[in-house]
Amino acid sequence: MKTVLDVGSNIYDILPDTYQGWRRITLDIDPTCNPDIHMDARRIAYDWPSGKDTFDAVFASHFLEHIYRHEAPTVLAGFLHVLKPGGWAEIHVPNVGLLMRKAAVLSLDLEDFLYDSDAGPIRVVDVLFGYQKMVQESGQDWMCHRYAYSLKSMANLMAETEFRDVEFRAGNMEVIVIAYKRG
């Protein structure tokens, strides 16, 4: 059975259909989420408990923006560390480039409504700095966004890694990256 590491999963199971039937292992810094692995993702390359080449895929949805930009290459190196050769990382981040264009065209301010999500209404400020309702309810600063990505900035980041055959897609207000480990 194929296995996917769901990084920063929090309490949500939002795996795309691609992973249906796969074994899902969750990793989160927040112990209240009851992750399978309670760990800071910035430490994967150094402190991984079960060796390298463990997973067929790594899925990280709306996680990478919660760490500083200078820490992202270390996290991505950790993803490579745990991926089997030929495996891939699927990364989703808010698309701040699209947000800026939409906010300008619609004359939106920080507190203005942007769209509805399963978690509730999303405002411009939520995309930039983290979903304010969740930040407030959790009381945890790791829920704040520490960087904002556009299609271009994600391409620049991925160029700094050893991932190959990197694909970029634009989703609903997000950038989606599929990047493969050499096999």
pLDDT computed for residue 127 by the predictor: 94
pLDDT computed for residue 11 by the predictor: 64
Residue 119 lies in a domain: no
Residue 48 lies in a domain: yes
Residue 127 lies in a domain: no
Residue 5, helix vs strand vs coil: strand
Domains in the chain: how many in total?
1
Q: What is the DSSP letter of 146?
A: -
Q: How distant, in Å, are the alpha carbons of 19, 43, 81 from that of 46?
A: 27, 5, 9
Residue 99 lies in a domain: no
- CATH number for position 136: 3.40.50.150
pLDDT computed for residue 19 by the predictor: 96
Low-confidence ranges of the chain (pLDDT < 50): none
Its domain, for residue 149, covers: 3-94+132-180
pTM value? 0.93
Residue 105, helix vs strand vs coil: helix
Strand blocks (E) in the chain? 3-7, 23-28, 37-38, 55-61, 83-94, 113-117, 120-123, 164-170, 174-180
Q: Which residues contact 104 (CB under 8 A, 6 or more apart)?
A: none
